[in-house]
Structure 1
Amino acid sequence: MPNRPHDPFRKPAPWAECATQLVDVAMGRRAADLVVRNGRWVNVHSGEIIPATDVAITAGRFAYCGSDASHAIGEGTRVVDAAGRYLVPGLCDAHMHVESGMVTVTEFCRAVIPHGTTSMFIDPHEIANVLGLEGVRLMHDEACVMPVNVYVQMPSCVPSAPGLENAGAQLSVADVEEAMGWENIIGLGEVMNFPGVASNDPVMAGEIAATMRAGKTIGGHYASPDLGLPFHGYVAGGPEDDHEGTRASDAIARVRQGMKAMMRLGSAWYDVATQIKAVTEEGLDPRNFILCTDDSHSGTLVKQGHMDRVVRHAIQQGLSPVTAIQMATLNTAQHFRLERELGSITPGRRADFLIVSDLASLAIDEVFARGVRVAKGGKLDIDIPAYDYPPAAKKTVKLGKVITAGDFDIAAPHGANEVRVRVIGVIENQAPTRALEADLDVTDGIVCMDRREDVCQIALVERHRGTGGVVNGFVSGFGYMEDCALASTVAHDSHHIIVVGTNKDDMALAANRLGEVGGGVVLFSKGKEVALVEMPIAGLMSDERAEAVAAKAERLVEAMRAMGCSLNNAYMQHSLLALVVIPELRISDVGIIDVTTFQKVDLFV
């Protein structure tokens, strides 16, 4: 007799505890819970596609993979006919931030499960910058009750660049040591303070050492194009992977040094096509390359997909389908020391798999997690209960005063009629910015924007401690042609309020509106609210369904286009303008930051 069908909300028992049961099913002494017949087995260990394969599952794990599983079929066994379709391991996202989806872990899972994602490795450093260790714990505990595998990387850099920004919280070496004992912590999140690693900063060295002692994986983030001694020092410090490469030479350098090259395709980061040439043209071993998303907003998840989108894109760049799937399954599992749990359709592993009708386009018909069908035909097949966050997590936007248009005035040096200023230059589909300069007019002692030359104003409004502080600067690349302002409490990584606008009255309205709703992103034009996505949880995540958030996000994107912004996923670009660990020029609550030298610089040249 088979066991009761496995509950997907209950993690499978450890292999050691159910091995005898798996053996009995494989030998035909016990009936399986589920048998999938006549599939084309995408074997990521051997790199083969094996036709006419049966798979038997019990206790949420694979027990038998072979030519005939009829011996494992009993009275209570559910039998699924794959009818010659492909059996593909469940997809893994090796590096991502749930908060960038604008939704909770629960809603993120609801959105991505139909797209074949059954394992995620999340770094909640966004909520950590607002709520500290307690915020990490909230997302960790939510991740533990999901019907798919959501592993958590302990954030390493909160704030991301000490001395160059002030976040809402700080994490210490002691915090990292504590978190390494939590159930679902898989390793250390991306170590963004790469100068700190190279200079043996005691906090960075301490966190990395604590992770090593715990036997867990250290995530990397080397955002500099310099592959000289600072890069070598960073690798020697311990990070094991990196997703910040944008060139084939970046991927090659990382793999040669024993790191895993993570190639991302998010909502606004398109780094696969250039780096995959290290495999398709230079012939490097694909086992050391991993696919991920990093940042995907809700609109991308609902409309375009998740890891299935990344795998399709990799195939379009010249990878064989099996190799692309390896980079999103087995390679990821091996990197996180989970090869005997995840990443393949082989005995003992968790029964996470897809039934796919076309491999090249990765047309996913059905999704199974822990041996239970969780999605079919692009629709979720189970109910995932909502997860409640405490009230304290929803009261995080503290302005300290009413923001006025005058807060955005930039006074010119005395007597100047024209000034030369530093300008943050947005690069479409990439995280880095350019350090630009522009000559701007001065009227009544105040520096003017130049809409014709696409130079508008950017401001950072402090929101964690209610200081009322505002830092002003200039940005280029959004192309706004109308009076407007976009404000967001999602401002990686310290998550103050970033306001970008062509009209100071709209900028003030936008900032104040976020204070009223507890955070999110809002667009004002000519005194009117045009689009709003409320994100009251830490000012980073909505408490609504993913579909509702995606619809609001789409209205926001359309409104930005109507203002003249043609950038792909411009909101994602907007949200990174305060990320003071990626070159070249950024804004923080400290001032304008040159990330090539990690120093504050004057706005005026």
Structure 2
Amino acid sequence: MQIDLLIEEAFVFNVFIKTFEKKNIAIANEKFYFISEENLRYLQSKKKLNAQGKYIIPGFIDIHMHIESSMIPPSIFSGVALSYGVTTVVADSHEIANVFGLPGMEAFMQETTDLDIFYAIPSSVPSTTPKLETTGGFIGVNEINSLLNHPRVIALGEAMNFKGITDELDSLIRKILKEVQEKKPLMPLEGHIPRVSGEILAKFMYAGLTADHTQQTPESILEKITKGIFLELQKKSITPENIQIVVDHNLYEHVAIITDDIMADDLLAGHLDNNIRLAVECGMPVEEAIYISTYTPARRMGFQDRGAIASGFLADFIIMDNLEKITIESVYKKGKCVHQKDTNITYPPTKPSFPAYFYDSIQCKPLAEADLHISVEGNLDSVICNVIQIQEIGTFTEHVQREVPVKNGRLDWENSNLSLILVMERYGKNGNIGYGLVEHALKEKGAVATTWAHDHHNLMIMGTSTEDILLAQHKVLDLNGGYVVSKRGRLSASCPLPIGGILSDETIYTLGNQLKEVRQAMIDLGYKNTNEIMSFSTLSLPVSPKLKITDFGMMDVHTHAHVPLIEVNQ
């Protein structure tokens, strides 16, 4: 038989027994043809590769991720992901859907990529309801049905509407879940189940959800897995104590390593490979870390043609020269080398082609000083305010109350040791502005503004001075979206995201360095978090505990109750 590539003398990972074996590999027509310890030179091969002393593993599979978090479109993301050994992803593109609806999804799926990109239908656009957050797009039952039969749609994306799932039988998310279960009973249904246990967890499962990717603890890992939930471990869940639970209880069949969100500047240093290294550093045997980044994610999504180096499977694989450090020498997609160490990332020959209106989507008024005047009724010297308290680890927040001074009948937020936060509706629908206060955010006089505000992507500004808030907001409008940081009346960093206010068509090197400057500028203002940009961007995510803000104002994530800025019962 004529084969395309013969690889000899490699240590090949066998996922079925989780060991490396010295083997020769024959590849033909984009698939593995024969893997054997025997000499295969009797096969006619177009090309031979001696891999003596090298390790070969299947291509990594990331089954829960959002391409838009990288802030680049699929055609550019493809080369970046492949350079880190990722050969297949399942993308939940609810960010582009929140901005443009079904046309956004369709634009993504029309892009040509070497990377295999499958899609999970966005189930939460908006993440709650139109009465709680304004979005540009909407995904309902009709839109779900239009996507169900697309050949690259293989799952239902994370269901996030907490109250809609647990307490409202007629909610849109329950209708979507019912529709998918009836039309595609074998389709995996992804969940967003943070800080949930007991009967509430049972309600999520009863609705049909079978996986969770949110931040875990040792206790939640044991409870969720023993009750039947498949866990997808992103970076913030890969801790020594969590990995120890997985190792001690031999839970590898029930977990996968994923990325969920990786920002453009972090993408300069790695993707799923970094999370795999972290799992090994936290105590997981390297063979098991590879197993739960290749075979278990393939099984979870129902792939029958990838996730292993086996006859008939797609020839997606990685050649490594250091096993423990997961050092990638080269990456092969369908038997073709698509990346080699120390070479530049491959980009499409032309920039992505999106409709013109994708580049002109910010319909929001420039802020005026009067918009930052918050009146207080009565002749009071101070009031009690409800405040979003940021944590230094992760994206969860707490709900606290603080006394804030009043000056000349207005909330004196500039002298409160808190940051004022606004979310402005940006789609030209209602002009809403939601107001809130944030603790443990900015320590210096300055502001941060963005249109990359989870998941609705309205325009969000947080600052400690009027001058800086106005400067940052006006600059974001000038850029047609992106991130801007201002300090003491001067712009200190910016990252333009002109495609829908959430994407750039620049290279990852250009974009990553712009975002790196934004991150450093936030740190210079005193922002402290393990991921400053994601922490800020998710202050507007009303499905991530505990207190968040949308263009309708602050809300309790679990109850969906509106939380006023100024506490009325003083």
TM more than 0.5:
yes
Equivalent residue in structure 2 for 1:216, among 168, 171, 187: 187
Q: Determine if the alignment matches structure 1 residue 585 to structure 2 residue 547.
A: yes
Residue of structure 2 equivalent to 1:236? 206
Residue of structure 2 equivalent to 1:8? none
Q: Which amino acid aligns with 2:412?
A: C
Contact 2:360 2:498 in 1 (8 A): yes
Equivalent residue in structure 1 for 2:35, among 65, 69, 74: 65
Query: What CA distance in whole angstroms lies between the structure 1 residues aligned with 2:164 and 2:475?
Result: 37
SS in structure 1 of the partner of residue 154 of structure 2: strand
Give 1:419 deviation, angstroms: 1.2
Residue of structure 2 equivalent to 1:181? 149
Q: Determine if the alignment matches structure 1 residue 130 to structure 2 residue 92.
A: no
Query: What CA distance in whole angstroms lies between the structure 2 residues aligned with 1:370 and 1:272?
Result: 34
Within-5 A mapping of 1:88-103: 88-103=57-72
Residue of structure 2 equivalent to 1:393? 358
Q: Determine if the alignment matches structure 1 residue 519 to structure 2 residue 484.
A: no
Q: What does the per-residue CA deviation read over 1:108-140, in whole Å, with 9 as the maximum and x for residues that have no partner? A: 222222111111111110111110111111112
Give 1:357 deviation, angstroms: 1.2
Query: What CA distance in whole angstroms lies between the structure 2 residues aligned with 1:253 and 1:108?
Result: 35
SS in structure 2 of the partner of residue 379 of structure 1: coil
Give 1:53 deviation, angstroms: 0.7
Q: Determine if the alignment matches structure 1 residue 154 to structure 2 residue 139.
A: no
Query: What CA distance in whole angstroms lies between the structure 2 residues aligned with 1:451 and 1:286?
Result: 52
Give 1:273 deviation, angstroms: 4.0
Residue of structure 1 equivalent to 2:263? 297
Residue of structure 2 equivalent to 1:337? 302
Give 1:232 deviation, angstroms: 0.1
TM-score norm. by structure 2 comes to 0.95
SS in structure 1 of the partner of residue 339 of structure 2: strand
SS in structure 2 of the partner of residue 88 of structure 1: strand
Give 1:493 deviation, angstroms: 0.9
- Closer, same or farther in 2 for the Cα pair 1:457/1:271, shift >3 Å? farther
- Closer, same or farther in 2 for the Cα pair 1:588/1:309, shift >3 Å? same
Within-5 A mapping of 1:316-465: 316-338=281-303, 340-380=304-344, 382-385=346-349, 386-399=351-364, 401-449=365-413, 453=417, 455-465=418-428
Query: What CA distance in whole angstroms lies between the structure 1 residues aligned with 2:373 and 2:79?
Result: 44
- Closer, same or farther in 2 for the Cα pair 1:186/1:125, shift >3 Å? same
Contact 2:76 2:347 in 1 (8 A): no
- Closer, same or farther in 2 for the Cα pair 1:69/1:173, shift >3 Å? farther
Contact 1:458 1:499 in 2 (8 A): yes
Query: What CA distance in whole angstroms lies between the structure 1 residues aligned with 2:483 and 2:75?
Result: 21
Moved more, 433-442 or 575-584: 433-442
Contact 2:480 2:496 in 1 (8 A): yes
Query: What CA distance in whole angstroms lies between the structure 2 residues aligned with 1:551 and 1:573?
Result: 19
Query: What CA distance in whole angstroms lies between the structure 2 residues aligned with 1:525 and 1:479?
Result: 10
Runs of 4 or more, structure 1, over 6 Å off, are: none
CA RMSD of aligned residues (A): 1.7
Give 1:99 deviation, angstroms: 0.9
Residue of structure 2 equivalent to 1:475? 438
Query: What CA distance in whole angstroms lies between the structure 1 residues aligned with 2:271 and 2:145?
Result: 32
Give 1:362 deviation, angstroms: 0.3
Query: What CA distance in whole angstroms lies between the structure 2 residues aligned with 1:438 and 1:68?
Result: 73
- Closer, same or farther in 2 for the Cα pair 1:194/1:566, shift >3 Å? closer
- Closer, same or farther in 2 for the Cα pair 1:403/1:61, shift >3 Å? same
Moved more, 41-50 or 269-278: 269-278
Q: Determine if the alignment matches structure 1 residue 40 to structure 2 residue 11.
A: yes
Give 1:359 deviation, angstroms: 1.3
Contact 2:64 2:90 in 1 (8 A): yes
- Closer, same or farther in 2 for the Cα pair 1:229/1:205, shift >3 Å? same
Query: What CA distance in whole angstroms lies between the structure 1 residues aligned with 2:477 and 2:485?
Result: 14
Query: What CA distance in whole angstroms lies between the structure 2 residues aligned with 1:308 and 1:177?
Result: 35
Query: What CA distance in whole angstroms lies between the structure 2 residues aligned with 1:92 and 1:428?
Result: 30
- Closer, same or farther in 2 for the Cα pair 1:378/1:114, shift >3 Å? farther
TM-score norm. by structure 1 comes to 0.90
Give 1:573 deviation, angstroms: 0.7
Q: Which amino acid aligns with 1:473?
A: G
Residue of structure 2 equivalent to 1:194? 162
Q: Determine if the alignment matches structure 1 residue 487 to structure 2 residue 457.
A: no
Q: Which amino acid aligns with 1:239?
A: L
Give 1:588 deviation, angstroms: 0.8
Query: What CA distance in whole angstroms lies between the structure 1 residues aligned with 2:159 and 2:496?
Result: 30
Gaps of 5+ in 1: 1-29
Query: What CA distance in whole angstroms lies between the structure 2 residues aligned with 1:68 and 1:468?
Result: 70
Residue of structure 2 equivalent to 1:285? 251
Q: Which amino acid aligns with 1:122?
A: A
| Number of aligned residue pairs | 562
Q: What does the per-residue CA deviation read over 1:490-540, in whole Å, with 9 as the maximum and x for residues that have no partner? A: 111111011011112221222222222211111122332221111111110
SS in structure 1 of the partner of residue 379 of structure 2: coil
SS in structure 2 of the partner of residue 65 of structure 1: strand
Give 1:211 deviation, angstroms: 2.7
Contact 1:56 1:72 in 2 (8 A): no
Q: Which amino acid aligns with 1:384?
A: P
Query: What CA distance in whole angstroms lies between the structure 1 residues aligned with 2:246 and 2:234?
Result: 15
Q: Which amino acid aligns with 1:43?
A: N
Q: What does the per-residue CA deviation read over 1:145-195, in whole Å, with 9 as the maximum and x for residues that have no partner? A: 211211111100111111321211211111111101112111110001133
Query: What CA distance in whole angstroms lies between the structure 1 residues aligned with 2:520 and 2:451?
Result: 20
Contact 2:434 2:550 in 1 (8 A): yes
Give 1:431 deviation, angstroms: 2.1
Residue of structure 2 equivalent to 1:10? none
SS in structure 2 of the partner of residue 70 of structure 1: coil
Query: What CA distance in whole angstroms lies between the structure 1 residues aligned with 2:250 and 2:52?
Result: 36
Q: What does the per-residue CA deviation read over 1:227-253, in whole Å, with 9 as the maximum and x for residues that have no partner? A: 121210111111121001421222222
Residue of structure 2 equivalent to 1:104? 73
Query: What CA distance in whole angstroms lies between the structure 2 residues aligned with 1:45 and 1:461?
Result: 52
Moved more, 84-93 or 429-438: 429-438
SS in structure 1 of the partner of residue 422 of structure 2: strand
Query: What CA distance in whole angstroms lies between the structure 1 residues aligned with 2:458 and 2:161?
Result: 19
Q: Once the two structures are aligned, what percentage of the paired residues are identical?
A: 26
Give 1:93 deviation, angstroms: 1.2
Give 1:141 deviation, angstroms: 1.8
- Closer, same or farther in 2 for the Cα pair 1:187/1:240, shift >3 Å? same
Contact 1:491 1:576 in 2 (8 A): yes
- Closer, same or farther in 2 for the Cα pair 1:363/1:420, shift >3 Å? same
